[in-house]
Amino acid sequence: MSARGQAFGIDIGGSGVKGALVDLSTGELAHERIKIATPQPSTPNAVAETVAKLVAQADWDGPVGLTLPSVVVNGIARTAANIDKSWIDTDARNLFSLALGGREVVVLNDADAAGMAEDRYGAARDDDGLVMLLTFGTGIGSALMYRGTLVPNTEFGHIMVDGKEAEHRAASSVKERKKLSYKEWAAQVTKVLVTLENLLWPDVFVAGGGISRDAEHWIPLLGNRTPVVAAHLRNTAGIVGAAMAVESGIAP
Ligand code: BGC
């Protein structure tokens, strides 16, 4: 199967490998998302096998865009958060291409993909200034876009905020682990946002990750000055951004 104006995206996370064909004129999925549990341990070879299974299940024979929860430079994973440490220094582009019969693939950071998708189709589509997306999950992912151009691999989840890494302070996993109320957690998120807005002065923050579904419970409690809007694409942003990356042929 192959079609004009469509591209295939796969979002690889700690618990699931999710993929679909994306209609790039709308940013919508062309069919129901396919999800396969991430193999444990999530080693490069095991994940590559899962990716091949997913693509076969979708009956897709064209190029594929893929995300990893890693810094990705020239197709090589440089870090590995929430995925097996053996990813570090793996040539992910080559690995996935081989697993998919030698076809063209593009690999990028998961938050970068989500940011590109929200910037073009979602919460930031009407903003032509500086957009910063933060995904709140097990860690904090970040994406920085200026007038539609991504600055890749920003990794603001690891910035030090008051003596502690941002993601150790305000990831949604911290809220769960410490059983924080929305009010308590929002105070931690505020500290992170203030640090970032004082350094980068974005026009808007887009809040992504699972907890963005409950945005009405906590966005109003934030005390920073830059507007914060909830992501629109929710659990498809990574897939859509991966498809955008392979369509444009541009990847960090
Ligand atoms: C990683 C990022 C990733 C984010 C979300 C962070 O811990 O360093 O590369 O984008 O988690 O998965």
- pLDDT reading at 250 higher than 80: no
Q: Best mutation site among 155, 158, 159, 211 for ligand 1, i.e. most ligand atoms within 8 A of its Cβ? A: 155
Q: Which helix (H) or strand (E) holds 184?
A: helix 182-200
Could you tell me if residue 117 is inside a domain? no
Could you tell me if residue 120 is inside a domain? no
Could you tell me if residue 33 is inside a domain? yes
CATH number for the domain that contains residue 218 = 3.30.420.40
Q: How far is the CA of 140 from the centre of ligand 1 (A)?
A: 6
Atom index in ligand 1 nearest the CA of residue 13 equals 12
**pLDDT band (50, 70, 90) for residue 1:** very low
Same domain, 175 and 157: yes
Nearest to 162 by CA among 184, 189, 135: 189
Answer yes or no: are the C-beta atoms of 138 and 168 closer than 8 Å: no
Q: State how far the Cα of 43 lies from the Cα of 41, in Å rounded to an integer.
A: 6
Same domain, 27 and 100: yes
Answer yes or no: are the C-beta atoms of 76 and 70 closer than 8 Å: no
Place of tokens 């993601």: 167
**pLDDT band (50, 70, 90) for residue 99:** very high
Same domain, 158 and 144: yes
Q: What pLDDT does 16 receive?
A: 94
Count of the separate structural domains present in the chain: 2
Give the mean model confidence (pLDDT) for residues 76-89: 94
**Alpha-carbon separation of residue 137 from 37, 41, 82, 131, 173 (angstroms):** 17, 20, 10, 19, 6
Within 6 Å (CB) of ligand 1, which residues are found? 69-71, 79, 81-82, 109-111, 135, 137, 139, 141, 155, 157, 167
189: domain range? 126-231
